[in-house]
């Protein structure tokens, strides 16, 4: 069964800290892996997409890595800001399906 797990479930940090969110997946036959952001009651915004043959992608203060052989991805957020507070979802693409992790709820305190 294709499962995606995210750790931690929730994280509260002071502004300015660097932080790491973790994602693991059981089936390594992936097309790609995406990190999404979701604000309360809103839709999903794609942050980064890593193709299955890639090791990492960067966008601004965000860096995502992928280790397909071990079934792991990390999202690194540098110099966190209160505006980064949201739920971060990891989603793995298998064929035409996205399988989501349960998310990490991030709170950045000012």
Partner 1 sequence: DTEVTQTPKHLVMGMTNKKSLKCEQHMGHRAMYWYKQKAKKPPELMFVYSYEKLSINESVPSRFSPECPNSSLLNLHLHALQPEDSALYLCASSPLDMGFWETQYFGPGTRLLVL
Contact residues toward partner 1 (CB under 8 A) are 31-32, 34, 36, 41-46, 49, 51-53, 89, 93, 96-98, 100-103
User: In the complex, what is the shortest distance from the CB of residue 91 to partner 1, in angstroms, rounded to a whole number?
Assistant: 8
The residue among 18 and 45 lying less far from partner 1, judged by its C-beta, is 45
The residue among 14 and 41 lying less far from partner 1, judged by its C-beta, is 41
The residue among 34 and 85 lying less far from partner 1, judged by its C-beta, is 34
Whole-Å CA distances, 16 to 8, 31, 32, 58, 81: 19, 34, 30, 19, 6
Q: Are 103 and 10 a contacting pair, CB within 8 Å? A: no
User: In the complex, what is the shortest distance from the CB of residue 39 to partner 1, in angstroms, rounded to a whole number?
Assistant: 10
- Residue 50 CA to chain centroid, in angstroms? 11
């Amino acid at each position: 069964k294709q499962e995606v797990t995210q750790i931690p479930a929730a994280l509260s940090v002071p502004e300015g800290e660097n932080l790491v969110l973790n994602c693991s997946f059981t089936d390594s036959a992936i097309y790609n892996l995406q990190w999404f952001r979701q604000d309360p009651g809103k839709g999903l915004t794609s942050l980064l997409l890593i193709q299955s043959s890639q090791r990492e992608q960067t966008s601004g203060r965000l860096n995502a890595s992928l280790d397909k052989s071990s079934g792991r991805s990390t999202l690194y957020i540098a110099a966190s800001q209160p505006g980064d507070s949201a739920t971060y979802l990891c989603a793995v693409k298998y064929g035409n399906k996205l399988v989501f992790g349960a998310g990490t709820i991030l709170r950045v305190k000012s």
